[in-house]
Structure 1
Amino acid sequence: SSIYSNYHYGGTSFRIGDGTSYYDFPHNFVMSDIWTHLVIIYNGSNWYAYQDGVQTATKSESFTIHTGTTYTYIGVIANTDTLSPYYFNGLIDEVRIYNYARTEEQIGQDYNFGLSTHFK
């Protein structure tokens, strides 16, 4: 799995794969010099994208998420072509990964109120 910048789509993409096949969920989430609250949800049959608490995209696509011992990459595509990796060009903060699909209400609460606990 990867979150990275993909200039073929003209913006930021989310990629998830099982080691042999991949699914890209492209969407131009991030604008230059503006903090963006980004949420990607997959419920087993549909993808949902939220930007700053508002649903901005939906895609119907079934995909088997690999649950083995592979790595999840944030900020770079998991690419075997080391000559042309796709790196996220920006800052990433407060990454959260859940083992269930968050509701629209939960996403709105996270966006409006932020973390309830701050770690040092």
Structure 2
Amino acid sequence: MTRDLLWVDSRAGLAVGAAMFALTGWLSPFYGLSRELLWIMGAANVGYGLYSGWLFTRRRRKRRAIVVLVVANATWALGCLVAAVYFAPVATVFGVLHLAGEGLIVGSLAALEWRARDVLATSS
């Protein structure tokens, strides 16, 4: 079950990133956020998805590689929450909810992966 955290992290990142890329033209006015910001968000999600997916496929993982993922996820979560506050005056409620929701979800993944870091580092 714990090893599935990496699979969930990967699939979520890839799915959200792909959706951001595919729907940028529609999401930009719906969220009240620039296309450039949505492209950055999509690229970050795809990057996290690829890295956590790569970790998932490894037979052996170094603890340091898991910690890198946790720090990256925690940083992204904080960035999303800061962006939700920063863009609140110009974004729609849906844009703010997306930013805040992504921050909470990615932050939760970071917390779960941090608690499971030793198991994730040694699972095969």
Larger % of strand: which?
Answer: 1
TM-score (norm 2): 0.27
| RCO comparison, higher one (Cα < 8 Å, 6+) | 2
TM-score (norm 1): 0.27
